[in-house]
Amino acid sequence: MLTYYLLPLSPALMRFYRTRILLDQPTLLRFLPEEGRLLDVGCGTGLLNYVIAKRRPRLQILGVDIDRRAIELASRYNRADNLDFAPLPLGEVTGCFDCISFVDVMHHTTEDEARGLLEQAAPLLAGDGQVIIKDVGRKGGWASYAHDRYITRSKVVRLAELEEMLRIVPDDYRVVRQLKKYRFPFPHYYVTLGQAPQPTSRRKKRAEVTTAPGDERDTHSSCSGELRK
Ligand SMILES: C[S@@+](CC[C@H](N)C(=O)[O-])C[C@H]1O[C@@H](n2cnc3c(N)ncnc32)[C@H](O)[C@@H]1O
């Protein structure tokens, strides 16, 4: 990937390119919490994480990615006190997070993978935690498609409309907030998901299985409230 070669030359320039040209950083920041524990899934080389870590010093961030090389570069060039990286698939992450983000990750997955990622995120979410999906829409998304296909040379590029994304959201969630905002050259969209309330019977059943007596919780999250990495 081109980024891998350019990042060591100028991490600052690459951060600017990623967060200011390819992303609408101010809008994205408005969707992220001021503090707490953030799990960023598909963090890549950590360019965005570094900027968020500096802007949000009270956030403790863990970036994970299935691309081992990207995590090596992230750990080397995008280090910050409140930022850790791990080369892990989401299914192997343990812990409890106030926010779990997927920034421009879903369009590099199939629909089934995207749904699977959201299912895997649910038990890692604190009771009042939120999942943030930021992605690029298909209509008018040709520049993003071309960038991914011919510059970063990604194998899977599946741009979808916000409405199509919402159709694959599992029942574990309710949609809290959504926004479509075109900012040259991409049609960005943002979705915030919270945990869906569950019928008491289902909730009790899960509590019997997953929690110790006296530790039943009001949500289906299996989070203990502690960050375990
Ligand atoms: C376009 S990059 C976005 C990087 C970063 N989120 C950002 O906004 O700068 C997409 C990243 O998603 C990662 N990715 C794709 N499928 C994934 C999966 N199933 N689990 C974790 N990461 C994944 C890729 O390895 C790649 O690093």
Model pLDDT for residues 134-192, shown as the tens digit of each residue: 999 999 889 888 888 888 888 888 999 999 999 999 999 999 999 999 999 999 999 99
For the chain, how are helix, strand and coil distributed in percent, rounded to 5?
40, 25, 35
Point out the ligand 1 atom lying closest to the alpha carbon of residue 40: 6
Residue 4 tokens, joined: 């891998």
- Closest residue to atom 27 of ligand 1, CA basis: 44
Asked, for residue 99, whether it belongs to a domain, the answer is yes
Cα of 197 vs centre of ligand 1, distance in Å, is 29
Nearest CA to ligand 1 atom 13: 42
CATH code (residue 39): 3.40.50.150
Owning domain of residue 33: 2-210
Range 179-202 burial, b when 16+ CB lie within 10 A, else e: eeeeeeebbbbbbbbbbeebeeee
In a domain, 216, yes or no: no
Nearest CA to ligand 1 atom 26: 44
pLDDT tens digit sequence for 8-37: 999 999 999 999 999 999 999 999 999 999
Token pair belonging to 44: 């890549």
Q: For residue 190, give both structure tokens.
A: 């943002």
- Tens digits of residue pLDDT in 92-110: 999 999 999 999 999 999 9
The number of folded domains in the chain is: 1
Assigned domain for 24 exists: yes
| Cα angle 142, 144, 146; round to 5 | 65
